[in-house]
Amino acid sequence: MTILSKTGTVTVTLDGSNKSASLPLLEGTLGTPVADIRKLYNDLGIFTFDPGYGETASCDSKITYIDGDAGVLLYRGYPIEQLAEHSDFVEVCYLLMYGNLPNAAELAEFKKGVTYHTMVHEQIRQFFSGFRRDAHPMAIMCGVVGALAAFYHDNINMTDPRQREIAAFRLIAKMPTIAAMAYKYALGQPFVYPRNDLSYAANFLHMLNSVPAEPYVVSPVLEKAMDRILVLHADHEQNASTSTVRLAGSTGANPFACIAAGIAALWGPAHGGANEAVLKMLADIGTPDKIPQFIAEVKDKNSHTKLMGFGHRVYKNFDPRAKIMKESCHEVLAELGVKNEPLLDMAMEMERIALTDDYFVSRKLYPNVDFYSGIILKAMGIPTSMFTVIFAVARTIGWVSQWKELVEDPSQRIGRPRQIYTGAPARDYQPISNRG
C-alpha cells in the first residue's frame, strides 16, 4: 500500500463500555480523508456496515480521481476535458496503464505492442456459432472474453511484469475485434479482420461496418466521435464493474476471467447498460408532450420508474463526461448532416424539465455520461444493443490498469467483505418425519 499521510485520528467510543479505539485518519493526494478502520475489530470487537460501499474506500489507487461535488474527473491527474480535446484513446490507454503521458517513441512502441495483438485465435470464431443469432452481444462478450482464459491460461505467470503487460495488450487489442464479431454474428455478415494501419477507433468502425462486397472508407467524423466516446469511458475509479474486476483479481484469477466478470457487472442498467436504457426510455415516451407524464411517473415512488441517464453515486453535480458528450452530440449530428433528431430534442427537453424540477434538484440528480452517448451512437448508425458493448471496449483499459495496480501492490489481500447475519440462529437438524 502506498500511503497516504496520516493527518490525525478519529476516536470511536463504544457507548456503555470503557472501550475506545483511535483510528488513523489518512489522506491521499486529493479528496476526502478516510478513517483506517482495520484495527476496529481487534480494539472494539465490532465491524462496520456500509451496504453498497457508499462511504468505504476499498483500496488506494493512483489512477483516476473524481470530485463528485465539483464535477471533476482526472485520469492520472489530467482533467478529462483536456484529454478529450487534445489526446486520443491509445495515448490515454498508455497514460492510464503507466501513469504518465508517453513521449513519441514510447507511444509508437505502445501502439505497436497493442496492434500486434488485434487478431483473435481462429478457433475463437467457432465459439460464435454456439450462440443464438438473437443473443444479446453483452452475453456473447461475457462468454468469449472469458473464453480467452482458456487460450492464454498456461502461459500467464502473473508474477512476471512482462507477462502481465502482454495480457493487458491482448485485452486492449482484442476487445474491439470480439465486439465487432458479436455484432457481425447478429447481422449474419462475415467477420472482418482488423486493420493495423488504422487508428484504434477507425479500425473498430472498419470491423463493425465494412463488408467484403464493397470498399468501406472510415469517416473522419465518426472516427473522432468514436475516439472521444472511448476516451470518456476509459476509467472511472472504483465503480461496480471495476470493483468486480479487482475483487476477482484479488483471488489471483486469470486476467481474462477477471475482465469477463467486469463485463457482466457493466451490463446492468444501473451501470453501463444505462446508455441502452436511455434510448429505450426515449422511444417508449415517444413524443415530447408525454414527458411531463413520464416525469410524474418517475417521481411516484410506487412506480419504480427511474429517469435513465440521470443520477450518479459519486457525482452530485454535472457529470463532466456528460457535458463533453452533449457538445460532441451536437457536433456529430451537425457534421453528419442530421438536422432534426427527435431523440435529441426529447433528451434536451427532458434535461430542461429535470434540472428545474425540485425532485431532481433536491436529490442532486444531473445527467450522467449515458444520457447523451446513446444519441451519438445511434446517429453513428450503431444499434442500441451494441451501446454497452462499446462502453466495455472503452472500459477495458480502466479494468486492466486497475487489475495491474492491484496485482502489483505487495500489500493486496483477497477481497472479502463481512456481513450482518440476519438469518435463523443455530438450530438442530430435524429428520423429515418431524417437520410438520
- Positions touching ligand CMC (CB under 6 A) are 239, 270-272, 274, 298, 306-313, 363, 365, 368-370
Shortest Å distance, C-beta 327 to ligand CMC = 18
Contacts of 70-75 with C-beta under 8 Å, sequence gap 24+, read 70/317, 71/315, 71/317, 71/318, 71/319, 71/320, 71/323, 71/366, 72/320, 73/236, 73/320, 73/321, 74/30, 75/234, 75/235
CA–CA separation, 12 and 19 (whole Å): 9
CB nearer to ligand CMC: give 249 or 272.
272
Shortest Å distance, C-beta 278 to ligand CMC = 7
How many angstroms separate the Cα of 242 from the Cα of each of 111, 210, 306, 399?
Answer: 24, 32, 24, 6
Shortest Å distance, C-beta 277 to ligand CMC = 7
**Catalytic pick from 117, 227, 312, 319?**
312
Shortest Å distance, C-beta 160 to ligand CMC = 33
Is 312 an active-site residue? yes
CB nearer to ligand CMC: give 124 or 375.
375
Closest to 255 in 3D by CA, of 139, 170, 162, 176: 170
Shortest Å distance, C-beta 260 to ligand CMC = 18
CA–CA separation, 275 and 206 (whole Å): 22
CB nearer to ligand CMC: give 125 or 352.
352
CB nearer to ligand CMC: give 14 or 296.
296
**Catalytic pick from 160, 370, 409, 428?**
370
Closest to 97 in 3D by CA, of 119, 106, 202: 106
The helix/strand/coil state of 72 is strand
Closest to 285 in 3D by CA, of 304, 318, 308: 308
CB-closest chain residue to ligand CMC: 311
**How deeply is 81 buried, as exposed, middle or buried, from its count of CB atoms within 10 A (0-12, 13-18, 19+)?**
middle
CB nearer to ligand CMC: give 223 or 235.
235
Is 206 an active-site residue? no
CA–CA separation, 248 and 225 (whole Å): 32
Shortest Å distance, C-beta 220 to ligand CMC = 28
The helix/strand/coil state of 264 is helix
CB nearer to ligand CMC: give 306 or 330.
306
CA–CA separation, 78 and 83 (whole Å): 7
Helix segments in 53-160, DSSP class H: 80-86, 89-98, 104-115, 124-128, 137-151
CB nearer to ligand CMC: give 147 or 308.
308
Shortest Å distance, C-beta 335 to ligand CMC = 25
**How deeply is 227 buried, as exposed, middle or buried, from its count of CB atoms within 10 A (0-12, 13-18, 19+)?**
buried
**Residues involved in catalysis:** 312, 370
